[in-house]
Amino acid sequence: MGPRKLRSYTNVCQCATSCHTRGAVECLSRQTRPRKRTGGERWRQGELEEASLCGGTDEHEKWNVKARGESPLTRADRVYAEILQEVRVAQTAVQILLGFLLTLAFMPRFSTTSRLERDIYVVTLLLGAAGMALLIAPTAVHRVMYRRRLKRHLVRVAHRFALAGLAVLVMTMGSGMLLILDVVAGMYPAIVLTGGVVAWFTIWWFAFPTWMRVHHKGCGSADDLTEKS
């Protein structure tokens, strides 16, 4: 092999070695380089960040992301708006009842009521005020917690306030019915009729929804959705 051919062969070997080295470096850099996330992965990461701002994730959050495409913050806003709509319905009843009770003390016949009837009136008035406070509490809590990134906690608190307000509203209705029926029909018929009214409210406001919740337990849950999909 002549000198010229030897130099040419050496240059080819050096070029091949250099190309192989550059290829290995590029391959290593591709392996160590962080993989670019797809749009779906970036969206999922955004969901987790939003959930962390709301106070964590649970099965309901996962179900909403799958079934509704709803982020945790969007779900919290929707649920809070639903609670406010429900509370407005109950507030109307409390306002009418409380307004009637406040004017009742200034009527001429109120001075002829017995001691027991006045005690029932006082209890009814206090229950009405307590129910009004509980039903308005979600609005006050929302204003105090404004811009604190605690919407999920706000939803939980508003849910409990709404349930407590409904329970106090049932007691207010019962106490008011007892007062009126005592004047109209006497104490013993008033007790029987008031018990029936309170039981009627309790059945449709609490017992029946609880039965539905237990009877349909698991329907539409995150596990059920995963099995069907």
The string of pLDDT tens digits covering residues 187-207 is 899 999 999 999 999 999 999
Q: d(Cα 164, Cα 130) in Å, to the nearest integer?
A: 10
Is 154 inside a domain boundary?
A: yes
Q: What is the pLDDT of residue 6?
A: 46
Q: What CA–CA distance (Å, rounded) separates 98 from 105?
A: 12
- Total number of domains in the chain: 1
pLDDT, one tens digit per residue, over 99-147 is 888 888 888 888 888 889 899 999 999 999 999 999 999 989 888 888 8
Q: Burial, 131: exposed, middle or buried (Cβ in 10 Å; 0-12, 13-18, 19+)?
A: buried
Q: Is the pLDDT of residue 20 over 70?
A: no
pLDDT confidence of residue 220: 52
| Residues near 128 by beta carbon (within 8 Å), at least 6 away in sequence | 94, 97, 98, 101, 172, 176
Summarised one tens digit per residue, pLDDT across range 39-69 is 444 445 544 444 444 444 567 667 667 777 7
Half-sphere exposure of 36 (CA within 13 A, CB side): 3
- The fraction of the chain above a pLDDT of 90, given in percent, is 29
Q: Is residue 229 assigned to a domain?
A: no
Phi and psi dihedrals of 71, rounded to 5? -75, 160
> Is the per-residue pLDDT at 72 higher than 80?
no
Q: Is the CB of residue 145 less than 8 Å from the CB of residue 114? A: no
Mean pLDDT across the stretch 79-96?
Answer: 88
pLDDT, position 229: 33
- pLDDT for 152 equals 83
pTM: 0.65
Asked if residue 188 belongs to a domain, the reply is yes
> DSSP secondary-structure letter at 149?
S
**Residue 134 maps to a domain:** yes
Cα 145 from Cα 74, distance rounded (Å):
17
Q: Any idea which of 148-162, 171-185, 215-229 has the lowest mean pLDDT?
A: 215-229
> Is residue 63 one of the residues assigned to a domain?
no
pLDDT digits (tens, 9 = 90+) for 111-121: 888 889 899 99
Reported in sequence order, the residue ranges of the chain that DSSP labels E, i.e. its strands, are none
Q: Is residue 20 part of a domain?
A: no
33 has a pLDDT exceeding 60: no
Is 52 a member of any domain?
A: no
Residue 175: give the domain boundaries.
72-210
d(CA 15, CA 23): 12
Give pLDDT, residue 129. 92
81 domain residue, yes or no: yes
Buried b vs exposed e over 39-60: b needs ≥16 C-beta within 10 Å?
eeeeeeeebeebbeebbebeee
